[in-house]
Amino acid sequence: MIAVSLERLRARLEALAGFGGLPGGGVTRPCWSPRHEEARGWLLGELRAAGLEAWVDPAGNVFGATGVGALAADRPVVLTGSHIDTVPEGGILDGALGVVAGLECLETVRQAGAAHRLPLAVAAWSDEEGRYGSLFGSRAFTGRLDVERIPEMAAADGERLVDAMARAGFDARRAPEARAPAGAVAAYVELHIEQGPRLEEAGLPIGVVDSIVGVRRTRVVFTGQADHAGTTPMDRRRDGFLAAAEYALRARDLVVRRGGGRSVTNVGVVSVHPGVSNIVPARGELVHEMRSPDADVLAGLARECEALARRTARRRRVAVEVRPLSATAPALCAERVQRAVEAACVTVGLASTRLYSAAGHDAQNLAAIADAGMIFIPSKGGRSHRVDEMSDWEAIERGANVLLHTLLALAA
């Protein structure tokens, strides 16, 4: 039975981990950064060395394919992929696994001369982690990019997307041209680490993803009054930070209580203005993220959190602005792709279970234009978005072989 080479796969994952690699392990490789652009160049070299056609689209998405040098409406491909950008101080597998394993599958198929009616392609999607706006490359590819917003898209530190892309040699205004011709993708399947503890705790090697959570991000800004931090009596202060802090704690409780057991919430960006110790904060600002696999639950939570922000502001005598930043809807994976993954598990001799993805993925965008699905492998200790994110090499090999046989079945 045809199988991937773990040795080659591992060597490439370790090589990719070197771009933006951190001294204590892990990697920082935000999209469009010099380290990311070096990794892009390396990936293009690896795709070509593997005998594949390789190209980059105007959104910066990198492609490698068997037999075709572009995507076209009249010749659908079976597509796999993931991303090579990382969060700051992230791990070596989030995204990298799906890209490198996709390349490994295509190289294996090519070398073995394995039959496939449809061409196979692998993609590395730009800015999956959303430094400038989440799932940027796959949104451009699937026609879901808000073109009007491109000039104002910026990272949390204020760096504009147009500048970051220009530095990397891209014109952000041309990103919408990356949109795939209708019918160019016959099916999409992405291999990824689970990034949570469910598979490991169940002792199962493969997860067949049935749906992907929706994510809402909202900027909540509480504006009070700057005052002398020593002389202003406590009962006269209108502290923007304390309102933000109280909101963060109460929103957490609200989501746990009302989220139906599968919703989560996080405040990962906080800023205090003017940000010095001897001034009562005039402004406390946070980015509040919520996720749920259930669209109605997520919409309900968003409404309740907005009402909570207004109550908190009234109680603390400050003003509040609630500004939605982004919202993705939960996505369903195609039954046809889930069955193909399950059949590949049987071929390879592995047990599997269906589960939802608690993280966002490019597959949720691909699901809008093609039958899409995902394959998960266990993450050690459920750890991810941290430098010690890892999976066993045997688990990686198993996942890549399930991807290989899924691709072959979808392309047969």
Q: Which residues are at the interface with ligand GLV (CB under 6 A)?
A: 129, 359-360
285 binds, among Mn ion, ligand GLV, none (CB under 5 to 8 A by kind): none
Q: Which residue has tokens 């040795």?
A: 7
The answer to whether 130 contacts Mn ion (rule: CB under 5 A) is: no
- 329/327 Cα distance (integer angstroms): 7
Contact segment (CB under 5 A) with Mn ion among 50-58, 90-98, 136-144, 395-403 equals 90-98
Our CB check for ligand GLV shows the closer of 179 and 217 to be 217
Beta bridge partners of 63: 55, 123
210 binds, among ligand GLV, Mn ion, none (CB under 5 to 8 A by kind): none
81 binds, among Mn ion, ligand GLV, none (CB under 5 to 8 A by kind): none
- The distance of closest approach from Cβ of residue 91 to Mn ion in the complex, given in angstroms and rounded to an integer, is 9
- The distance of closest approach from Cβ of residue 19 to Mn ion in the complex, given in angstroms and rounded to an integer, is 16
**Residue from 95, 133, 205, 240 that binds Mn ion (CB under 5 A)?**
95
Q: Measured between alpha carbons, how far is residue 261 from residues 247, 254, 255, 349, 353 in Å?
A: 21, 12, 9, 33, 20
Helix 393-411 vs helix 96-112: crossing angle, to nearest 10: 60
Our CB check for Mn ion shows the closer of 16 and 244 to be 16
Our CB check for ligand GLV shows the closer of 134 and 223 to be 134
- The distance of closest approach from Cβ of residue 98 to ligand GLV in the complex, given in angstroms and rounded to an integer, is 12
- The distance of closest approach from Cβ of residue 376 to Mn ion in the complex, given in angstroms and rounded to an integer, is 11
- The distance of closest approach from Cβ of residue 21 to Mn ion in the complex, given in angstroms and rounded to an integer, is 17
375 neighbors 230 (Cβ within 8 angstroms): no
Q: Measured between alpha carbons, how far is residue 118 from residues 26, 108, 271 in Å?
A: 37, 16, 51
Three-state DSSP class for residue 165:
helix
| Interior angle at CA 106, CA 105 and CA 110, nearest 5 | 115
**Residue from 94, 127, 194, 371 that binds Mn ion (CB under 5 A)?**
94
Our CB check for ligand GLV shows the closer of 64 and 360 to be 360
Closest CA to 195 of 178, 181, 207: 207
| Interior angle at CA 404, CA 143 and CA 83, nearest 5 | 40
Our CB check for Mn ion shows the closer of 195 and 218 to be 195
- The distance of closest approach from Cβ of residue 65 to ligand GLV in the complex, given in angstroms and rounded to an integer, is 26
- 96/330 Cα distance (integer angstroms): 23
Residue ranges binding Mn ion (CB under 5 A): 94-95
